[in-house]
């Protein structure tokens, strides 16, 4: 378990820390759980699994980081759509802001939405999302 292992580091050092931890985890065949607030886009993309929690501590998303933007976009959230905004920043902004004027699912209902259909969406759409990301 790691609590904010990249806090206070610049983006280059943050990437190095995450790469080091990833290498150790693979060498030791262990899982690592890390809490990271506002990672750069480059660091965000290094993680295998992303878990986004609502303010009510419910899972709003759990899956590969590269599929998170597409999942939230289909719910009406503009993840990473603002210029120079990382996906992590966008996720934090709409999870904390609570602006539900143009979205299909209010932030307070994202946990229930994930429980009802999120994992099915991920299984059905993640491959297509990955293909688009690679193109």
pLDDT, residue 27, reads 96
pLDDT, residue 126, reads 64
pTM of the model: 0.76
pLDDT, residue 134, reads 47
Tell me what the pLDDT averaged over the chain comes to: 81
Euclidean distance between CA atoms 135 and 121, whole angstroms: 21
SS3 label, residue 34: strand
Give residue-wise pLDDT tens across range 13-72: 999 999 999 999 999 999 999 988 878 888 888 888 999 888 888 999 999 888 888 888
Contact call for residues 22 and 46 (beta carbons, < 8 A): yes
């Amino acid at each position: 378990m790691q609590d904010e292992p990249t806090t206070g580091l610049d983006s280059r050092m943050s990437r190095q820390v995450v790469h080091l931890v990833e290498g150790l985890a693979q060498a030791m065949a262990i899982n690592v759980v890390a809490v990271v607030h506002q990672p750069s886009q480059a660091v965000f993309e290094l993680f295998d699994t992303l878990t986004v929690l609502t303010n009510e501590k419910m899972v709003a998303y759990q899956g590969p980081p590269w599929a998170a933007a597409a999942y939230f976009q289909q719910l009406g959230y503009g993840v990473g759509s603002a210029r120079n905004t990382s996906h992590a920043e966008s996720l934090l902004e709409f999870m904390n802001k609570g602006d539900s004027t143009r979205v299909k699912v209010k932030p307070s209902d994202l946990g229930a939405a994930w429980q009802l259909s999120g994992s099915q969406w991920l299984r059905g759409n993640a491959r297509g999302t990955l293909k688009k990301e690679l193109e």
